[in-house]
Amino acid sequence: MFGTSGVRGPVGETITAAVALDIGRAVGVDTDRVVVGRDARDSGRMLRDAVVAGLQETGTDVVDAGMAATPTVARGIEPQDADAGIVVTASHNPPADNGLKLWTPSGQAFSTAQQDEIEARIEAGDYDLAGWDEQGTCGEWPEARTVHRRALVDAGRRDADEAGVSLDGLSVVVDLGNGMGGVAADALYELGADVETLNAQPDGRFPGRPSEPTAETCETLATTVEATGADLGIAHDGDADRMMAVADGGEFVPGDLLLAMFGREEAGDGESVAAPVDTSLAVDDALAEVGADVVRTRVGDVYVAERTRDEGVAFGGEPSGAWIFPEETYCPDGPLAAVKLAVLAAIEPLSARIDRIERYPIRRATVETERKEAVMDAVETRIRAEYDDVADLDGLRVGTDDGWFLVRPSGTQALVRLTAESRDPERADELLATARSLLDDTMA
């Protein structure tokens, strides 16, 4: 049921009111109070009603944050003295999809063990429904976004004060992608930045651009930053747990470079940064310059967040745009990352920062298949027969003398993802072609 980031899929197929009702009931078994929110997708109304009904049926009180960013809900659990949070969202997926993400009071997503427990309860129908006079209540919490904004502003002021800079006059273009990240623009404005927004009207059809912020989908943002001479561009996905950026001059900053940039700021000598198995070697090299290193995890913010709880792990991130600042929260908070990046841009232009980070050619591709498990089993047999350096932390990562490639099933979509890297562009292409050939042979 659970992928790398909650439960997600096409509405009316994988995701139905019955699924949301069951998840509400299963979460409600051992909770007394739960914060609930949703993104701008129209199907979220129905799913929100269903999950709230399931919670109330088990006697759990609901705090309704309304339409809100995922980090707004995740960071609102503790202030509301709640036991959990549920966000109805499909994050960066297409408009036809929706889903549910589950959060703990620390702001961390439900662990694999907690997800397994929820799934087992649903399979067994083990809900322990409350009597007619013990049903849970549901109250609105319109201040949820305000609470989040204040936390962002406080973090921004602390960082700016420590660095001896101000955001006054910093020019920032924020592309909200018709999603829920408006709290980022609000916080940056309150911190003194000159803020211009793109696609700021929440709309679950995502008419302004596809929800996932990539170099291709953020072309308008990049053009705007360049044309206006802005200092920084920020882009969020539908539920604002992700943040990607455009540097002064209009260059989209690849996720691996952002990860290296944040990691160098957050981790010191002898400390580590948690990052998934598909992270570039450029991150390792950039961190080595400040005496830090990388500890690799499975792909998914829940796994990255889990590692940031380990002693000496100062930061965690995914090249896809999820950033974990454990001193603030274990939730991937896109608006928090936007504020922290704005402070870095006020200290020194991002273009100068990324110029100091070595770039290696990394290639990524996806292959659609409804037979992920069978395909991966066949690929594993081939890979283990042909290669010695094979890691199976998440998918199959093959190390070679001059690079590596990864074959990994998507946790949220009917895809197998391919990644390859080398310090030589032609060799990176060859490694990706090798990975694709292995996959094609097993699918033939």
3-state secondary structure of 37: strand
Residue for token digits 């960013």? 69
Cα 349 to chain centroid distance, Å, stands at: 25
Residue (of 424, 435, 169) closest to 160 by Cα position: 169
Residue type, 259: L
Q: What is the DSSP letter of 250?
A: S
Contact 283, 259 (CB under 8 A): yes
Which residues sit opposite 102 in a β-bridge?
86
CA distance 345 to 435: 38
The CA distances from residue 171 to 229, 232, 247, in Å, are: 8, 7, 11
Which of the following is catalytic: 91, 211, 320, 410? 91
The CA distances from residue 126 to 33, 113, 277, in Å, are: 19, 17, 36
Residue for token digits 């990240």? 181
3-state secondary structure of 232: strand
Residue 91 annotated as catalytic: yes
The CA distances from residue 186 to 40, 141, 171, 195, 361, in Å, are: 18, 19, 14, 9, 36
What percent of the chain is helix, strand and coil (3-state, nearest 5)? 35, 25, 40
CA end-to-end span of the chain: 28
Cα 235 to chain centroid distance, Å, stands at: 13
CA distance 437 to 434: 5
Residues catalogued as catalytic: 91
